[in-house]
């Protein structure tokens, strides 16, 4: 485990969710403070010599908010995001998502860390409604929160 990433501290609010009626991946947004902190974490992970792991506490949405534009579906938020980068084990393009009702784990290679960083930079700039990842394990980036119904 890398010491630099284990000393990283989370800031701001991060939201990660999926829709009950839609199997097209997971969805992510974060406030500016959280985006900046996550970008810092991704840099630390990229520079780590050994496996870097971090658990990110996730915020939930109010019942009257819609996390993605034009999709008024019921959604379920995760409570915890486990992010794993292992240079010795993972190819540069590695992308694997596993989840249960409470937590989601994302294992990424170095190139995917860069894509994730760019996605968070875009969220900070108000750019979203696109995804990275592999089919069935997509991660969508969103810039805002609007009305919807929570499960």
Report pLDDT for 145.
55
* Per-residue pLDDT tens digits for 97-113: 999 989 999 999 999 99
Give the pair of three-digit tokens for residue 12.
């701001």
Domains of the chain: 3-146 (3.30.1360)
* Per-residue pLDDT tens digits for 31-83: 999 999 999 999 999 999 889 999 999 998 765 665 555 566 678 889 999 99
- Does the pTM surpass 0.95? The reply is no
């Amino acid at each position: 485990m890398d010491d630099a990433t284990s000393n990283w501290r989370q800031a701001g609010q991060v939201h990660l969710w999926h829709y009950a009626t839609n199997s097209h991946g997971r969805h992510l947004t974060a406030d500016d403070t959280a985006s900046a902190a996550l970008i810092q974490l991704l840099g630390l992970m990229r520079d780590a010599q050994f496996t870097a792991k971090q658990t990110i506490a996730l915020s939930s949405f109010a019942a009257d908010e819609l996390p993605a534009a034009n999709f008024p579906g019921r959604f379920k938020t995760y409570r915890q995001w486990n992010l794993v980068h292992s240079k010795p084990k993972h190819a540069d393009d590695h992308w694997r998502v596993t989840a249960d009702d409470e937590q989601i784990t994302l294992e990424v290679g170095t190139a995917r860390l860069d894509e994730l960083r760019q996605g968070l930079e875009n969220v900070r700039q108000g750019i979203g409604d696109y995804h990275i990842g592999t089919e069935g394990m997509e991660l969508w980036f969103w810039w805002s929160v609007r009305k919807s119904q929570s499960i």
